[in-house]
Amino acid sequence: EGFSSVNFFLSLYRFQACVYFACVFQAMSCGIHYLASVFMAVTPNFVCGIPGNVSSVLFYNSSESSIEDIWTLWTSTENYIVVQLENGEIWELNQCSRSKREVSLDLAYEYKGNKSVFSCSDGFLYDDTKWKSTVVTQWDLVCDREWLAKLIQPTFMLGVLIGAVIFGDIADRVGRQRVIWFTSAGQFVFGIAVAFTFDYYSFVIVRFLLAMVSSGYLVVAFVYVTEFVGIKARTWASMHVHAFFAMGIMIVALVGFLVRTWWVYQIFLSISTLPFVLCCWMLPETPFWLLSEERYEDAQKVINVMARWNKVSTPCKVSELCSVQQDDLVSGRTGDNEVDMSSTKKHNILDLFCNWHIARRTITVWLIWFTGSLGYYVFSLSSVSLGGNEYLNLFLIGAVELPCYIIACIGMDKLGRRNTLIPFLILSALICVLIMFIPQDFNILIILANMAGKFSIGVAFGLIYLYTAELYPTIVRSLAVGSGSMMCRAGSVVAPFCVYLRSVWIFMPLLLVGIMALLSGILTIMLPETLGKPLTNTLMEATEMGRNKKSCSGKTPPAHSGATLEKIEMFGQERVSTEK
C-alpha cells in the first residue's frame, strides 16, 4: 500500500534500473513512428498546374505577380485563382480542375462567358509556406488519388496489429533478447529506408514493415521489463512505458516544427533512437524465459551478473528455485485436482463466453479496449486540426499523458480498478459533448478541452491492461488479455477513418468517441471490483467473483514461502503482454 512513483524508482536495483530505462528509452521510437504521419502526410493548399508562363495572378480583388503570394489569402477549398499567361490566355485554377475562358479580353475575377474545362494534366501547385515537401506533394496524393493518402495511417496500424501477433509468438519461442535486438535494429533500418522510398507503394510497404517491428518491440519490451522488475513495481513499470511512448509523440511535434521536408523529418526521427540500437546488444536474456526453456546454466550466469551489479554477496541458486517450485507444484496438485484438470485442458476463445456472466464481462472488456484505443488515437491524430499552432497542439496532447498515468496508478491502488475506470470513461464522454458547444473561435479553450479528453481516455486506456488480467482466471488469462489487445489494435485501425469523418461533420469523430465512452462507462458498472482480491484459477471462481462482494470462495494457487518469493520476485510470476 502507498506505493508511489518515487517508491517505484527506489525499488529498482541497479541492474534492473539500467535494463528498464534502456528498454523504455527505445519505447519513445514507437511513439515517434506511430504518430509521424500527422506531419509527414499533410495536405497543403493546392490548385491545378498552369499550362504555360504566368504574367499576372488574380484572387478576388488582389492582384499579384506569382501564385506563391496568393496562399496567404486562401481561405477555402472552394476558392479558385485566375491567371493570365504570357500568350494572353486566361485560366481559372481550381483544386481538381482548370478552366480556360473562351473570351479573354480583360483580367477579371468574375466571368459569365463560356469556359472549357480540363483535367490537371500538368500536375499541381502546392502551398509550401509551412511544409517544403510532404508525401502528398511528392506523389500528388490529391483529388482522385486522395484516398491513397488516407490509407497511410490505417495501413501502418494494420502493420501494428500483425507485428504484435507475430513477434509476440516469436519472443516465446526464441527468447525476448533476440526479438528486442531484431526489432530495435529494424526500427532504425526501416525508419531510414522510408525516407529513401522511390514511390508511394514502396513507401507504404516499408512503413508497414516499420509498423510491424515497432509494434513487436513494444509488445516484447513490456514482457521483458516486467520479468525483471518486482511484483510491487510491475504496475508502475508498465505505466512508465506508456509515459515514454507519450514522450515520443512530443518529439514528433518538436522535430516537425524544426524540419519541414518530409524525408529529412523522417531521418531525424529515426536517428533519435540510434543510441539504443548501439547498446541493445548488451541486454541479457531474462532468467524467467531461460528457466522456462530449462537452460539452467545460462539462467545462473545472468543471475550472477545481476548479483554483481546489485552488490549481492550470495546470489540465489537456480537449483534452489527449481526444487521449491517442484515441491509447491506437487503439493498444489495433491491439494486441488480440479484446478489441475482445468489447467491441463486446452482452452480457446469460446471459453470467454462459457456462461452469461463471463460473456457479458468479455463483451464489456472488449468494448473498453476498443474505445480506449479509438479515443486515444482520435484525440492524438486530430490535434493538428484544432486551430492555432499544430505543433504545440500535438506536443501538449503528448505531454498531458505523463500525469494521467500517475493518476491511474494512484486511483487503482486507492479507489479500485472499477471505481477509477467508470468516472474517467464517463468524463471523457462528457468532454466530447462539451467540445461540441465551444465556439470555433475559442481555440485555446478547444485545445484545453481536447487535452482533458485525452487525459481522461488515457487513464482508462492505461488501466484496462491490469484490470483485464485480474478479471479472468489463470486458465484463460492470456486469452483474455490477447483478445483484448486485438480489439485495441482494431480501434487503432479504425481511428484514422474516424478522424477523416471531420469532412462530413467537424464533430463526428468526437460524437462517436463520446457514445462509445459513455456506453463503456455504463457497462463497466456491472464488472466486479478486483482490488485486494486474489487472482482466480477457474471459470467458476471468476463467475462467483462477480456475484458476491466477498473474495472468491474457490481455492487459490499454493503460495510460496516468504524467502523463496523474494528470490523469484525479480523474475515475475504473472506475465501480461500490454501494448498500445
Identify any residues that bridge with 143 across adjacent strands, giving them in sequence order.
none
Tell me how far apart the alpha carbons of residues 367 and 458 are, in angstroms, rounded to a whole number: 15
Tell me how far apart the alpha carbons of residues 437 and 430 are, in angstroms, rounded to a whole number: 11
Q: Which pLDDT score is estimated for 580?
A: 61
Q: Which pLDDT score is estimated for 578?
A: 44
**In the chain, domain spans:** 1-44+133-283, 46-129, 350-545
Domains 1-44+133-283 and 350-545 are alike in CATH topology? yes
Q: Which pLDDT score is estimated for 571?
A: 40
CA dist list (Å): 74 to 48, 78, 111, 344? 14, 10, 20, 68
Residues with Cβ within 8 Å of residue 430, at least 6 apart in sequence: 514
pLDDT by residue for the chain (580 residues), tens only, comes to 444 544 444 445 777 778 888 888 888 888 899 999 999 998 988 988 887 788 788 887 777 767 777 777 777 666 788 888 888 888 888 888 898 888 767 778 788 888 888 888 888 989 888 889 999 999 999 989 999 999 999 999 999 888 887 887 788 788 888 888 899 999 999 999 999 999 999 999 999 999 999 988 888 887 787 777 766 666 677 777 888 889 999 999 999 999 999 999 999 999 987 877 777 778 888 887 787 777 878 878 877 787 777 777 666 676 666 654 544 444 444 444 444 444 445 667 788 888 888 889 999 999 999 999 999 999 998 888 887 788 999 999 999 988 988 888 888 888 888 999 999 999 999 999 999 999 888 888 999 999 999 999 999 888 887 788 788 886 777 678 778 888 888 898 899 999 989 888 889 999 999 999 999 999 999 998 888 787 777 888 888 876 654 433 334 444 333 343 344 444 433 334 445 6
Q: Which pLDDT score is estimated for 205?
A: 96
Tell me how far apart the alpha carbons of residues 250 and 564 are, in angstroms, rounded to a whole number: 43
DSSP 532: T
Buried b (16+ CB within 10 A) or exposed e, 547-577: eeeeebebbbbbebeeebeebbbbbbeebbb
Cβ-contact 387, 445 below 8 angstroms: no
Q: Which pLDDT score is estimated for 254?
A: 94
Q: Which pLDDT score is estimated for 476?
A: 77
Residue 6, CB half-sphere, CA atoms under 13 Å: how many?
A: 1
Q: Which pLDDT score is estimated for 197?
A: 94
Q: Strand 62-64 to strand 46-48: parallel, antiparallel, or no bridges (unpaired)? A: unpaired
Q: Which pLDDT score is estimated for 546?
A: 63
Tell me how far apart the alpha carbons of residues 463 and 80 are, in angstroms, rounded to a whole number: 50
What CATH topology corresponds to 1-44+133-283?
Growth Hormone; Chain: A; (1.20.1250)
Residues with Cβ within 8 Å of residue 117, at least 6 apart in sequence: 97, 98, 99
Instruction: Measure CA 189 to chain center.
Output: 21
Q: Which pLDDT score is estimated for 135?
A: 95
The amino acid at 327:
D
Cell of 86: 504570357
The CATH code of domain 350-545 reads: 1.20.1250.20
Note if the pTM is more than 0.95: no
